[in-house]
């Protein structure tokens, strides 16, 4: 096991893509200590910021301690191993991750799991905007793997999602699942408006309150249960909407009926269908 303990609190942004099992597993303690990282516009060695220790032989397991809110890109492109962060982290955690597991006992910044391809990220706190989403101008987000957030997420979670699953046990901001093509997003509590905007495919399940559905979604059915993944099924009534019509989309939006009585006016369209 490799452990990194942050020495002093940080003021300037730090880019530390080298904190990942792939980068550290073959290196000696001395080599790890001398790894270069950027602190603002100055280049420093990893040992200037962290107290580093190696214990036992499990080199693909890393534990990081301290408030890493300013540290960006931890676990980027990792393919294997386990990375546990005891504290908050900054942006781009697990960006383009291809395998392994990241566990965070704290909050994470924007672009967590950005464009991830495989592996698992589990966050016990809250996360920022653009969860799993691509960077500016790119149109392919998360394409596989799993992100579990026990707290809340901000805007545009799962934007441009291609595949994989995002589970949020707290609430979500606006534009969850923006322009998604496939995959699943599950939001247990309150969900911000514009969920599924411009989606073409995939599935979004909102079990909590949703103020309104975009006008460009059309009601399809009232289901008595919905499947999240594998054998996991929520047995309560859900409205099923299809959209986004603006993009000729076939995305599925499941909204809890129990938590959203204000959406019951859509039921008149379903009754009409039955008469036909």
Partner 1 sequence: MMEVFKAVTCPVCACLCDDLEVTVDKGKIVDVKNGCAFSKSKLLNYNGKQRVLKPLIRKGNDFAEVSYDEAVKQAAKLLTEANYPLFYGWSMTSCEAIRVGIELAEEIGGVIDTTSTICHGPSTLGIQDVGLVSSTLGQVRHRADLIIYWGSNPLIAHPRHMERYTVFSKGRFQEKRKLVVVDVRETETAKKADLFIRIEPNKDFEVLQALRVLIRDDELDVEKVAGIPVATLEKLAEMMVECKFGALFFGSGLTMTEGKNRNVDAAISLIRDLNRITKFIIMPMRGHFNVTGADMVFTWQTGFPYAVDFSMGYPRYNPGETSAIDILLRQESDAALVVASDPVATLPRKAAEHLVKNPLIVVDPHMSATAKLADIVLPSTFVGIEAKGTAYRMDNVPLPLKKIVEPPTGILSDEDILSKILFEVRRLKENAS
* Nearest CB to partner 1, comparing residues 81 and 249: 249
Residue 53, both tokens? 């220790």
The residue among 56 and 137 lying less far from partner 1, judged by its C-beta, is 137
Nearer to partner 1, 165 or 238 (CB): 238
Instruction: Name which of 111 and 186 has its Cβ closer to partner 1.
Output: 111
Residue 270, judged by CB atoms within 10 A of its CB (0-12, 13-18, 19+), counts as middle
Cα separation, 71 vs 38, in Å, equals 10
Task: Quote the least distance from Cβ 40 to partner 1, whole Å.
Answer: 3
Q: Retrieve residue 269's tokens.
A: 């369209």
Smaller CB distance to partner 1: residue 85 or 214?
214
Q: Which two tokens stand for residue 23?
A: 């980068």
Write down the least CB distance from residue 213 to partner 1, Å.
9
Q: Measuring CA to CA, which residue among 259, 246, 117, 96 is closest to residue 178?
A: 246
Contact 167, 186 (CB under 8 A): yes
Shortest Å distance, C-beta 145 to partner 1: 22
Nearer to partner 1, 130 or 186 (CB): 130
* CA-based torsion, 152, 60, 141, 10: positive or negative: positive
Smallest distance, partner 1 to C-beta of residue 85, A: 19
- Shortest distance, CB of residue 72 to partner 1, whole angstroms? 8
CB of 28 to partner 1, least distance (A): 26
Q: Residue with structure tokens 């942006």?
A: 91
The β-bridge relationship of strands 2-6 and 50-54 is antiparallel
Q: Which helix (H) or strand (E) holds 21?
A: helix 21-24
* Contact footprint for partner 1 (CB under 8 A): 11-13, 15, 38-42, 70, 72, 91, 110-111, 129-130, 135-137, 139, 174-175, 178, 194, 197-198, 214-219, 244-246, 266, 269
Closest CB to partner 1 among residues 101, 160 = 160
DSSP 46-109: HHHHEEEEE-SS-TTEEEEES-BTTEE-TTTT--SSEEEEES-B-SSTTTT--SSEEEESS---
What is the smallest separation between the CB atom of 77 and partner 1, expressed in angstroms? Answer: 17
């Amino acid at each position: 096991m490799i452990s990194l303990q942050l020495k002093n609190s940080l003021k300037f942004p730090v880019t530390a893509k080298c904190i990942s099992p792939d980068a550290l597993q073959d290196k000696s303690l001395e080599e790890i200590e001398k790894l270069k990282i950027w602190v603002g516009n100055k280049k420093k060695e990893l040992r200037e910021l962290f107290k580093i220790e190696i214990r036992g032989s499990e080199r693909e397991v890393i534990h990081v301690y301290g408030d890493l809110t300013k540290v960006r890109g931890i676990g980027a492109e990792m393919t294997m191993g386990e990375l546990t962060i005891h504290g908050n982290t900054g942006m781009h955690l697990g960006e383009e991750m291809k395998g392994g597991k990241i566990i965070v006992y704290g909050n994470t910044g924007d672009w967590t799991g950005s464009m991830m391809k495989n592996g698992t990220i589990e966050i016990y706190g809250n996360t920022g905007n653009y969860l799993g989403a691509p960077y500016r101008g790119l149109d392919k987000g998360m394409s596989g793997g799993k992100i579990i957030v026990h707290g809340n997420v901000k805007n545009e979670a799962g934007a441009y999602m291609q595949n994989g699953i995002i589970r949020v046990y707290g609430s979500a901001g606006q534009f969850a699942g923006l322009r998604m093509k496939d995959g699943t997003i599950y939001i247990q509590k309150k969900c911000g408006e514009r969920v599924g905007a411009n989606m073409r495919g995939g599935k979004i399940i909102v079990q909590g309150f949703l103020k309104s559905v975009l006008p460009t979604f059309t009601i399809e059915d009232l289901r008595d249960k919905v499947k999240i993944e594998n054998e996991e099924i929520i047995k309560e009534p859900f409205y099923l909407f299809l959209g986004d019509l603006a993009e000729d989309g076939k995305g599925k939006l499941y909204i809890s009926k129990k938590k959203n009585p204000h959406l019951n006016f859509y039921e008149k369209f379903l009754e009409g269908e039955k008469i036909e």
